[in-house]
Amino acid sequence: MLLPSFLSSLAFGAISGYMAHQKGKNPYLWFFLGVLFGIFGLLFLLFGDRAMRPRQKSKKDETVIDITPTFDPEHKKFFWYYLGPQNTQNGPMSFDALTKAWTEGKVTKSTYVWNESLDNWKPFDEFIQTPN
């Protein structure tokens, strides 16, 4: 009864030592941890480093550059309309409401907008002044 228990402990130790060597960790330490803790030592070797490692921010978050566009104050005098999906007309709305729709993603640079001072519908991009 003692021999199978001893052999299974040695097997867990050997597997833990081998896996530790593959992961670049100290195989002697993990051999003894595998012998002492058995399956729990092996599981900690396999999954424990994920729990201990601090989570990194995604690269998407690091590469986002916040460029807040500015707009000519002259545009605030008029009520605005924009063409949504399937060319549905939205408006009238203030220019502040139009810029809010811009920040919410309802209006893009290529969305066509119009007000009383314009002859034709124009892309919203023509009214954005990006900082230098």
* Tens-place pLDDT, residues 28-43: 988 888 888 888 887 8
What's the whole-model pTM score? 0.45
Structural tokens at position 106? 């309802």
Write the pLDDT tens digit of every residue in 45-89.
777 776 566 666 555 555 555 555 566 777 788 899 999 888 899
Q: What share of the chain is helix, strand, coil (3-state, %, to 5)?
A: 55, 10, 35
Q: Which domains does the chain have, with CATH numbers?
A: 3-48 (no CATH), 73-127 (3.30.1490.40)
Q: Determine the Cα–Cα distance for residues 56 and 33; give it in Å rounded to an integer.
A: 29
Q: Does residue 1 have a pLDDT over 60? A: yes
Give CA separation, 113 vs 13, 93, 95, 131, in Å. Answer: 70, 11, 11, 22
pLDDT at site 81: 92
pLDDT at site 87: 87
Which has more confidence, 54 or 22?
Answer: 22
